[in-house]
Every structure is written in structure tokens, then in C-alpha cells.
Amino acid sequence: MRYPAHGANPATLYQQLQLEMPAQIVDLSENVNFLGPPASFQEVWSAAFEQIALYPHEDAEPLRSDLARHHHVLAEHVVIGNGAAEIIMALAKRYRSKPVIIVEPSFSEYKRTLMQQHASIQSLIVEELTSYVLPMERLKRAMIGAEAVYICNPNNPTGVVTPRSKLLELLQYGQQVGCELIVDEAFMDWTDESQSVIDLVASFNNLVVLRSMTKMYSMAGVRLGYAITQHAANLKLELPHWNVSAPSMALGMQALQEAEFCENSRQQATAMRTKVTHWLKEHGCTVTNSETNYIAFRLPSCYDPTEFYFALLKKGIVLRHTQNFVGMDGAWFRLALKEPYKMTAFQQAMEQFFL
């Protein structure tokens, strides 16, 4: 049985699992903001029509400069991609045929793109997933002789944030042993940003920070992500010309003006996360200490996770399976926090399964 590599696209999931798709679907497998895009995007989108006949700026200006000001970094340290996934693919070329560490469980695109470049991949598995504490001593030993280590922070799929102090320790150690640190902060804007390491880019030439504008601003269909690193110019060489469209840039620039929208989104996610986490624990589940717009949970040991997953699919409730998350192996589920009626549908389906 072949499970899809990512969440979203329920029709593909049902097709690959050879299941009849119910008429009504509640998709809790993808982590895009359930509030939808900011209202201001509608006007920006309409205005962008005037630019579709023109080639966009090769360096994605003026968005690149806006991002630099937003993060208080140099513009030459910013490189923008057609989604963070494009940056991840370009980054993998940097490590062609070289030894690389991935702290797992984590985003599957790291391994997929590194495998395309014939990198030698070592998976270093976090054993306690509830708090997702990095195994620092094991990690440091593995970094000796490695070209880079990939760390997702906040972690996907657990939503747990690694303290900045731990990453600073690894950066300093990486300088000593010649190992770069790739820190994927795709979901950092769902937190208060206090644990971000973006400001360290100026001081560490062995740091690459990845960011995505997909999740918070509900623009997965637009594709917009970026990296902040002293190696931005080298990464840019691996990207196609004109890889960022003019409408994408316009929406990205507007997104940086949406502080109130972001704060409202974080507040709603926090309230929902607290409520759902409490409910799951009341039902005997183990839940990760997430700080994002998703959580991961594991059923009580008396229930079969595969049976549960398919029981919910038959009711039209789509969770993110963890069959391809190293260290989870299908025993856990990632649950996106969505509209209240969708969470209620999930809870009702779960309670029926427990009967």
C-alpha cells in the first residue's frame, strides 16, 4: 500500500489507498491557516493583473529588500524561491555526494532532495517525541565529518520548538568541526519568534535559515518561500531565472504588512490547540507540546492506529499519516487545527471509533 508523501489533496489519497471517497471531506492533513488569506490580498491580486505581461525582477525585488528590512538582515543574504520547496531542492545540490544528517522525524523533502543528489544521509532519531528534545551529544558526535545537519524548528510534524540556545550551541560547534546547520523555520511565524535564529546569520557563515509564507498567509497555491544565509548568492545560482512571479511578489510584500492578521491567527491557533490537546489527553492520547497550528498525537496502546486511520477516512476525516516520518512509523498522527466545526467532526468520529 502506497501512502502519499504529504498531506493535502484528499482525492489523491483516496485513490492511492483504493478507497471510495465520501461526498463530504474534512481535511485535517495540511497546515494552512484556516482563516484563509488576509482580506487585502483580493485587491493586491486584482492589481497584479497589470503585471502579467512583464518579466519579474530576477532577484525578486522589491520583495527581497522588504524581507531584509523585516528581518533586519542584509538583502544580499536573502534568496527567494517558488515555495520553500524550491530552496530545499537547490540547497540539496550544495551537498551532492556528501554526508548529511537529518534530525528525525522531520519534513520528508529534506531526504527526498538529498537522495536525488546522492548525499550520504544519516537519520538521527529523537526518541522522546512529546517534547522533541535534541540528543545533543549524539548529534555532536555525528556532526564530526558531516557537511550539514537539517533541523526543522518548529518541528514538523510535532510542532515542538527547539530553544534557540541549543541551536546556537550547535552552530558554534559546527564552526569547529566544519558542519553547516540548516534550520527550517517554516512555522516559526506561528510562535512569538523569540527562538528564531535569523539574527545569527550575520555572525555564522555555517547557517542557512529557511522560511515559508505558505502556511500563515494561506497561499499554498501561490508558492513563496525564502532562505536567509551568507550563501544566498550561491543558492541563487541553482535556481531558474524569473523563478518568482510578479503576483507572488506583490502578495509577499503585502503579507509583511499584516501584523494584526498574524497575531489574530496565532491567538486563535493557541486557543484551539489548548482545547483540542486537553480533549485528546482526556481520551488517553499522548500529545506533543506543539506551539504551532498543528499537533501530533498517539492513541492509547489498546487501539490500532492503522484501523483508526482508515475508520476516519471512511467517514471523510483525513488526518496526516506518519508512515513516512522516520521515528513515528504510522503510530502517530498529525492533526491540523482548523475551523471549530471541522474539529467537532473529528472528535465525534474519534469518539465513535472508541465505542
Residues 102 and 205 in one domain: yes
Residues 19 and 82 in one domain: no
Which pLDDT belongs to residue 51? 84
CATH classification of the domain holding 152: 3.40.640.10
Q: Is 251 within 8 Å of 219 (Cβ atoms)? A: yes
pLDDT at 58 over 70: yes
Rounded alpha-carbon distances, angstroms, from residue 345 to 117, 319, 328: 43, 12, 25
Omega within 30 of 0 (cis) for the link into 99: no
* Residue 344 forms part of a structural domain: yes
Residues 244 and 198 in one domain: yes
pLDDT digits (tens, 9 = 90+) for 241-299: 999 999 999 999 999 999 999 999 999 999 999 999 999 999 999 999 999 999 999 99
Residues 282 and 194 in one domain: no
Confidence of residue 4 (pLDDT cuts 50, 70, 90): low
Rounded alpha-carbon distances, angstroms, from residue 226 to 64, 68, 71: 9, 11, 12
Confidence of residue 31 (pLDDT cuts 50, 70, 90): very high
Average pLDDT of every residue of the chain: 95
The SS3 assignment for 231 reads coil
pLDDT at 8 over 80: no
- Tell me which of 227, 255, 283 is where a domain ends: 255
Whether the pTM exceeds 0.85: the reply is yes
Give the closest residue to 296 by CA, choosing from 158, 120, 108.
Answer: 158
Q: How far apart are CA 254 and CA 230, in angstroms?
A: 26
String of DSSP letters for 185-230: -TTGGGTTSTT--GGGTTT-TTEEEEEESTTTTT-TTT--EEEEET
The residues, ordered by sequence, that sit 6+ positions from 141 with a Cβ below 8 Å of its Cβ are none
DSSP annotation of 320 reads B
Q: Is 214 within 8 Å of 224 (Cβ atoms)? A: yes
Give the closest residue to 125 by CA, choosing from 103, 98, 141.
Answer: 103
Which pLDDT belongs to residue 67? 98
* Residue 36 forms part of a structural domain: no
- Give the containing element (helix H, strand E) for 308: helix 305-314
Q: How far apart are CA 291 and CA 288, in angstroms?
A: 9
Q: How far apart are CA 320 and CA 6, in angstroms?
A: 8
Range of the domain at 158: 41-255
Residues 73 and 107 in one domain: yes
Which triple of cell numbers denotes residue 336? 491540523
Q: Regarding beta strands 180-184 and 148-152, do their DSSP bridges make them parallel or antiparallel, or are they unpaired?
A: parallel
Per the structure, how many domains does the chain have? 2
Which pLDDT belongs to residue 207? 98
Share of the chain above pLDDT 90, in %: 90
Residues 213 and 70 in one domain: yes
pLDDT at 230 over 90: yes
pLDDT digits (tens, 9 = 90+) for 75-98: 999 999 999 999 999 999 999 999
Q: Is 83 within 8 Å of 212 (Cβ atoms)? A: yes
Q: Which residue has the cell 540547497?
A: 91
DSSP annotation of 97 reads T
- Tell me which of 255, 278, 313 is where a domain ends: 255
Which residue pairs, CB below 8 angstroms and at least 24 apart, start in 39-45?
40/254, 40/257, 40/258, 41/217, 41/219, 41/251, 41/254, 44/250, 44/251, 44/254, 45/247, 45/250, 45/251
Residues 222 and 308 in one domain: no
- Tell me which of 220, 255, 290 is where a domain ends: 255
Give the closest residue to 276 by CA, choosing from 3, 34, 39.
Answer: 34
Mean pLDDT of 121-146: 97
Q: How far apart are CA 29 and CA 336, in angstroms?
A: 6
Give the closest residue to 324 by CA, choosing from 52, 45, 102, 100.
Answer: 102
Q: Is 132 within 8 Å of 155 (Cβ atoms)? A: yes
